[in-house]
Structure 1
Amino acid sequence: MKGTNSSSPSGFILLGFSEQPRLETVLLVAVSIIYVLTLVGNTAIILVSYLNPKLHTPMYFFLSNLSFLDLCFTTSIVPQMLVNLRGPDKTISYTGCVLQLYVALGLGSTECILLTVMAYDRFNAICRPLHYGVIMHPRLLRQLTAVAWSSGFVESTLQTILVFQLPLCSHHRVDDFMCEEPIACVNTTAMEVTTFAMCLVIVLVPLLLILVSYGFIAVAVFKIKSAAGRQKVLGTCSSHLIVVSIFYGTVIYMYIQPGNSPSQDEGKLLSIFYSIVNPSLNPLIYTLRNKDFKGAVKRLLTLCTDSS
């Protein structure tokens, strides 16, 4: 077929905003700062949760998993993006493109399921407080986490195989910052339908389960007579709800919205928000209003100061 290359290409060109060098300079600085904040914030959550015995609870176990996931997700995308933003060389190898797509899809899918598991944890904590310790035992925590990670990467494996089975265009240009779906020179309708169906399963089914969990939580909240009790429950759930709203709102708008899709430039900016800004917000959302975590950080800092 004219304009295609049946063999594996040597690499791809990630165009990004190559026609707007000033914007790329601004993005280079902004992405670098956000990436550092993401690394520091998520690493802090993992270390503090591990070092403080009082935080060895199901909520912080899942939160540490989410932080590790965000670290992996941004690191699979940002270093290559920074290299491309620095100058005219915007290439990525074929193997690098396949790995980036595979890892990004796998971690994104895992986050969908992990957020659902975290909602299930909140449901048990609020609706079944007397049996919470028995239900959310360490073995179940490990099993739920294993299901989240394995399911995410099974979906990623299938989708990556579908994408790279298609003959790719000879120019190998991808009008984005990352390898999401390299351009194929054939009709991709069948693949798009299959991908859409997979997105429905991996995105909307977990979202539905989250809404069901919070439906039960809402009923439990209405049964609480004291305002202080309601405030405590809302405080427990608010961080997770904010993270779910931002994550799913962005994903649905980017990938499975009906009707008109975002413009190309808007899609690139949404990709940056989804892949870079979101992971940097999660530590802030979970820790700023969390007295237990802030107390644990203060105690660790005090111990470090005293020991020095």
Structure 2
Amino acid sequence: MSISKNKEKAAQKILCIGGSTLNEGTIEKIKDALIATDFLQEWAVIFVKHLYFFVYGSQFYNVKTKKDIEAEWAPNQTVFVDHTNIYSVNKQKIYILPDPDICKVKEASGWNPMKNCLVVNCKVENNLVKLEAVESKGIDKNLDAWLKQNMDDASNSSRVKDLLNDERLEMPCIDKFMMELADVKTKINDLTIAGLILCGCYGDGAYGLKAIKNEGGATAVQDPDECWHSQKRATWSMPSTALENEPNHEKISIEENSDFTSLTDWLKSIR
């Protein structure tokens, strides 16, 4: 009986949203668009966002606690993937992958951002989509094998490694998760997937978004011209890199102040 109920709730449509240094108000606008389109009735949404507790704005940091996010998104809809576990991906749910900044531990040598952090894998189990959260053994040990297997171009692999080896260590890795979701699509025939890249620095997500498109998923990027931040001037580079890698992603406007399709209209179009 429990298996039957689980299959009834299992998401057959999954939207993965990646981003990093977001504009102030972006999270609220996404929430409004999801509500306006009744999107979650049939879809699950997975946020793969660097710094998910920190939203950049005019005051640099707008710190959102876990409690704040649960209050804004409704506790019964929001699932924080913050413990080692296997999580079923069900419709009407929003999944938020962990960020190593919440795991920082003070050591004699300084702050260790990878202490007791989690890495989340997207996988298939019993023909259902699952999120597997496992303890990190350090960025390099967790991702080296994955990079070697999935990044054929050595220069691209080096680019990603360079980004992952900076002081903050940009995790969760959007490329990794989106590419795993695309692979899951090849194993579940009736699964529908989609991907969206928001503002952010550098190019994480470019390969993952293309992988989703290659598997027939709807893909979009936020209009780079509306990505801004006074302290983080290159926040347009994440969607721009995705477009350089695949020019046929749709450009959409989160701010609804451009000539491109609005987020609300894009969500309606892929439902």
What is the TM-score when the length of structure 2 is the normalising length?
Answer: 0.31
Higher-Rg member (1/2): 1
Higher percent of residues as strand: 2
What is the TM-score when the length of structure 1 is the normalising length?
Answer: 0.28
More contact order relative to length (CA 8 Å, sep ≥ 6): 1
Higher percent of residues as helix: 1
